[in-house]
Structures are given as C-alpha cells and as structure tokens.
Amino acid sequence: MSGCRPPLLLTLVHACAALLAAVCLATTLWTGLDERGTALAFGVLVTVGELSRWTGAQVREAAPLGAAGALSYALLGPDAGEPTQHGVAQVVTVVLAAALLGSVPHIARGQRGTLDHLARRVLTVGFAAVCFQPLYNQGTVSGWVGPAHALLLLALLALTALCDAVLAAALAHSRTRWPFGPLLRDELRALLGIGSAVCATGAVMALAVAVVGLWALPVFSLPLLLTQMSFRRYAAVRATYRQTIASLARATEIAGYTPAGHARRVAALGQAVGRDLGLTEPELTVLEYAALMHDIGQLSLVDPVPAGATAGLPAQEQRRIALLGGAVVRQTGVNAQVATVVERQADAWREQPVAARVVRAVNAYEEKARDAGPGGPLTALEELRLATADEYAPEVVEALARVLSRDCLTLPLAG
C-alpha cells in the first residue's frame, strides 16, 4: 500500500489520538506531575510491557502487560489507602511517554503497525480515565467498597475493551479494506482470550494497589507474564506447523509439476477473498492450508499436467487429482477439514464448502491470468464469470473481482 493516500478514517483516528495526547501533555506540563513515585512505577510497568511486545505474530493485543498496566493506572483510586490526585491528563501523559519509550526498539527495527498501536493505547486509556477519574476525584465512588468497587472497575474495563475492539476493527478496515463486520466479530471473539486476561489483571492491579500499595504491581504482573509466555509458545507451534505445510506444498514446485510460487499466490489471494466473504479466522486458516496444498495430488500422476494447470482438464480428471490430493493430506496428519477442502475443490460448486469454492475459483483465475499478458487478469475474470452457472460460485467470483479492484491493493500474478 505504499504510495497510497491514507484512508480518511485512519487519518481521523490518528488525529484524535494526537490531539488528545497534545492536550494532556500540555495540561500536565502546566499543572505538574502528582504522585511522582506512583507515576514512575506505572510508567516502568507500561514500558516493560511495551518492550516485551510480540513481533511477527497476528494477535489482538501485542503488549498485554503494557495494556493491563495502562488500564490499571487509568482506574487507580487510592494508593495503599491514601487518596490520589492524578487525573485524566496525567494518566494519558504517563502512558504515552512509557509507550513511546518502550516502542523505540520496535520502531528502530522498522516494525509495522506501531503508529496504530500507539493511537489505540492513547484513546483506550483516555476513555477509561475519563470514565473513572472524574468520578473518583469528585468523591462519587468513595463510598463504593468491596464488591461494588470491583464490579465498577470490571464494568468500565469491559466497556473500554468493547470500544478498543471497535477501534481495532476500524483501523484494520481502513488499512486493508476488508469488511468491517467480520473484523469486528473476530476482535470481539479475541476478547475471550488474551483480552479477558488483560481486563482481569488491570482490575486486580488497581484494587491491589489501593490496598497494599505499589508492591502489588510486580506480584500481579507475574500471572499475565506467564500467560504471555504460553501464548508465545502456542504462536511458535502454529508458525512451525504452517511452515511444515508450506514446505509440503512446495514439493510440487520442486518436482516440476507446478510453477514456482503458484500455491503461495493462490493462498494469499484466497485468504483475501475469504475475508471479503466474511469467513472467521479458523475458517481462513483452513482455507490457507488447503490453498497451499491444493495441487499436492499431482505428485501421484505419472505424466505431469502442462504448467500444472488443472483448471482446463476434464471434470473427471480434476476430481481424480483432487481425491489423490486429499488422500495425501490425510496421511500428513493435517486437520481433516483441510483434506476435505482439497478433495472437494473439483466438485460442482453447489455441493462444495465455501473454502473449496474459493480455492477452485482462485486457482483457476491464477492459472488463466499468469501467462496471458497485460490483459490476462481481466480476461481470466470474465472467463470465470461466464462459467458461474456450473463451475464457479457467483458470490466467490464477485468477491474475487472486488479484491482485485480494491484501491491500493496489488497481488502478484507471477514470480
């Protein structure tokens, strides 16, 4: 997307975050910093959380410890029984300074998404602080003790998490042009995982500091750190699993049955089409794996198909190759759903699962377009549209057309 004009929504979110940060910083510089020890302790916690941010993994919350520390500071009332005076401006300023400091190594490495991450952090923490700090400073919640106070914090954290999910989905929609509804659905589903751990830890930290003081921060950070380590191991296992599947998929290229990069291109374009159709993350994973391995049945052929182009073969031969591929996939121990998609990619589209419809249409498009010259993509797409009566699902072909025509989206057809 380099060279493209930033979407209006993306610019608006960044502008709101920058305006809030500027106002809070100016206010804090004018009024001074209250409870400097408390501000330093939470700042260090947020900085450590940002330094340990996940890189290279698609997760909803890349810095769970930083998020929990920032939210607990926004919802902090008393400190070891003593009332605090910090307000919304100081909360946002401390969190922003800590997040910027913790992001320096990630920015130096050229990690993408840092600006969106900082914008989300500023806006969500600002929202939580605006909801709680005025009530606390005015004494409205001073009489709320025990379960009432805890329930208030949990309710505010839940509301903040929902707002953050909407914000994250909006940013992703602006950058990728993927449909907003499925993105929001996936964000809300992710709240049940690391999101719930972040909210619970943020609430516990705020409540514990109110009773025992700042010593509670390192103690209650430990469970979230252990959870983060578990997620890291899980992500590493998934990455290794995907690399294994990608290596298996390259067997047809190494053997000379299919052109180099064909499976990768079908998987990338297939995922984009799947997102446009509103598939969930688990469904997209199955689609990606099936697309990577959709040609593996050709390894069982005595005579290779010219250029590996199966879309032009007779229907019976396509089904035979698909069944051979499904049998190979089942022997590898990959998810049975992946094998089913590979087996059924050559069936009539009305009898196929959605993932199989996508794999068939995208594979045919890539085969038809890659060697047809400058007009190949348009010609291939028209051929698919003309064959929607029997061979290709109309909604998939139209989703493919939307993906290909989307502003600032480029997908390679060769190489």
Q: Could you report the per-residue pLDDT of 56-76, keeping only the tens digit for each?
A: 545 666 778 889 999 999 999
> What is the pLDDT, as a whole number, of residue 61?
67
pLDDT in tens, 112-148: 778 888 999 999 999 999 999 988 888 777 666 667 7
> What is the pLDDT, as a whole number, of residue 242?
83
Residue 350 has pLDDT above 60, yes or no: yes
- Mean pLDDT along residues 291-304: 84
CB 95 within 8 A of CB 46: yes
CB 296 within 8 A of CB 397: no
Task: Give the pLDDT band of residue 374 (cuts 50, 70, 90).
Answer: low
The pTM of this model reads 0.78
> What is the pLDDT, as a whole number, of residue 407?
47
Task: Give the pLDDT band of residue 356 (cuts 50, 70, 90).
Answer: very high
What rounded mean pLDDT belongs to the chain?
85
Instruction: For residue 240, give the DSSP letter.
Output: H
pLDDT in tens, 243-254: 888 888 888 888
Residue-by-residue DSSP string for 293-359: TTTGGGGG-SSPPGGG--TTS-HHHHHHHHHHHHHHHHHHT--HHHHHHHHHTTS-GGGS-HHHHHH
> What is the pLDDT, as a whole number, of residue 145?
65
